[in-house]
């Protein structure tokens, strides 16, 4: 039995059909005899919409209140994902970051995880449940809700995978994997089968948002086996590991499409 973390980004849970499709992937993995932890992002453009609403109401919203607001997007997705899993006849239970013991520092809107108390996750896994967790959030030592910065659900997934020494952390997204450049901007971009932590860090630092920078740093530090995979087909995506010669110089060879 393996422990698999599966993270679904915003596009992958944008509506009921997509949530149901993602739930099928989760239950397929579970049916193969694995323990599964699911991390979800807010649906579609929900985080942007919440931000827009906040700034419409107050030009300088308090960052504490922003975190209260923004964390609700992921909370909605995780309840809906648990319901979708139930409707397929499988056991699942959803949790907010706070409920699952994710403690952060107090830097609202870009907090860093300082501790994960995985007791509840382990309890539910041993009760044969699929554990669904709201990404992008935690709670500081004074019980204020915090968020981890844009794209922070990747960090939640990788941090939990690192903490529990998961066998694999799959990041499901709306492209087929990691490309030499953003495939939406550069049509000739080539999909990579493998890429090293350092190389993808370089891509991310040039602006590639396919994985959040912090999540790659955590994956590298704890050597988390990581894959970026397509949500909408069965492709194997891109494996991210320690050393990959194939990628040598490839980042440097391409112009920087992220430069504004």
| Residues binding ligand ADP (CB under 6 A) | 9-12, 41, 151, 173-175, 178-179, 181-184, 203, 208-210
**Tokens 């607001």 belong to residue:** 69
Query: 13 or 66, CB closer to Mg ion?
Result: 13
To the nearest whole angstrom, how small is the minimum distance from the Cβ of residue 234 to ligand ADP?
A: 17
Least distance in angstroms from the C-beta of 181 to ligand ADP = 6
Query: How near is the Cβ of 3 to ligand ASP at its closest, in Å?
Result: 21
Q: Looking at beta carbons only, is 138 or 151 nearer to ligand ASP?
A: 151
Which one of 11, 47, 75, 215 is in contact with ligand ASP (CB under 6 A)? 47
x-marked contacts with ligand ASP along 146-185 as a string, rule CB under 6 A:
----xxxxx-------------------------------
Q: Give yes or no for residue 97 binding ligand ASP (CB under 6 A).
A: no
Considering CB under 6 A, how many residues would be counted as binding ligand ASP? 13
Asked if 42 is part of the footprint of ligand ASP (rule: CB under 6 A), the reply reads yes
Residues 75-104: b if buried by 16+ CB within 10 A, e if exposed: bebbebbbbbbeeeebebbbbbbbebbbbb
Q: How far apart are CA 13 and CA 15, in angstroms?
A: 6
237 near ligand ASP (CB under 6 A)? no
Which residues make up the interface to ligand ASP (CB under 6 A)?
A: 9-10, 41-42, 47, 73, 135-136, 150-154
């Amino acid at each position: 039995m393996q422990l698999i973390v599966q993270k679904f980004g915003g596009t992958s849970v944008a509506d009921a059909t997509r949530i149901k499709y993602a739930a099928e992937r989760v239950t397929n993995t579970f049916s193969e005899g694995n323990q599964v932890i699911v991390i979800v992002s807010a649906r579609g453009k929900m985080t942007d919409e919440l931000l827009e609403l906040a700034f419409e109401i107050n030009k300088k919203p308090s960052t504490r209140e922003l975190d209260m607001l923004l964390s609700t997007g992921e909370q909605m997705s995780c309840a809906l994902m648990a319901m979708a899993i139930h409707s397929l006849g499988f056991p699942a239970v959803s949790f907010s970051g706070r409920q699952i013991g994710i403690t952060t520092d107090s830097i609202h809107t870009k907090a860093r995880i300082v501790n994960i108390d995985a007791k509840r996750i382990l309890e539910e896994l041993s009760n044969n449940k699929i554990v669904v967790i709201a990404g992008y959030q935690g709670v500081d030592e004074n019980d204020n809700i915090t968020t981890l910065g844009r794209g922070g659900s990747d960090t939640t997934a990788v941090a939990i995978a690192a903490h529990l020494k998961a066998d694999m952390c799959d990041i499901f997204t709306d492209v087929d994997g990691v490309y030499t450049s953003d495939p939406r901007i550069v049509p000739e971009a080539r999909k990579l089968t493998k890429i090293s932590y350092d190389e993808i860090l370089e891509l991310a630092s040039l602006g590639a948002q396919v994985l959040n920078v912090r999540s790659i740093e955590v994956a590298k530090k704890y050597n988390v086996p990581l894959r970026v995979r397509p949500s909408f087909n069965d492709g194997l995506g891109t494996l991210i590991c320690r050393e990959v010669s194939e990628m040598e110089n490839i980042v440097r060879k391409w112009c920087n499409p992220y430069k504004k």
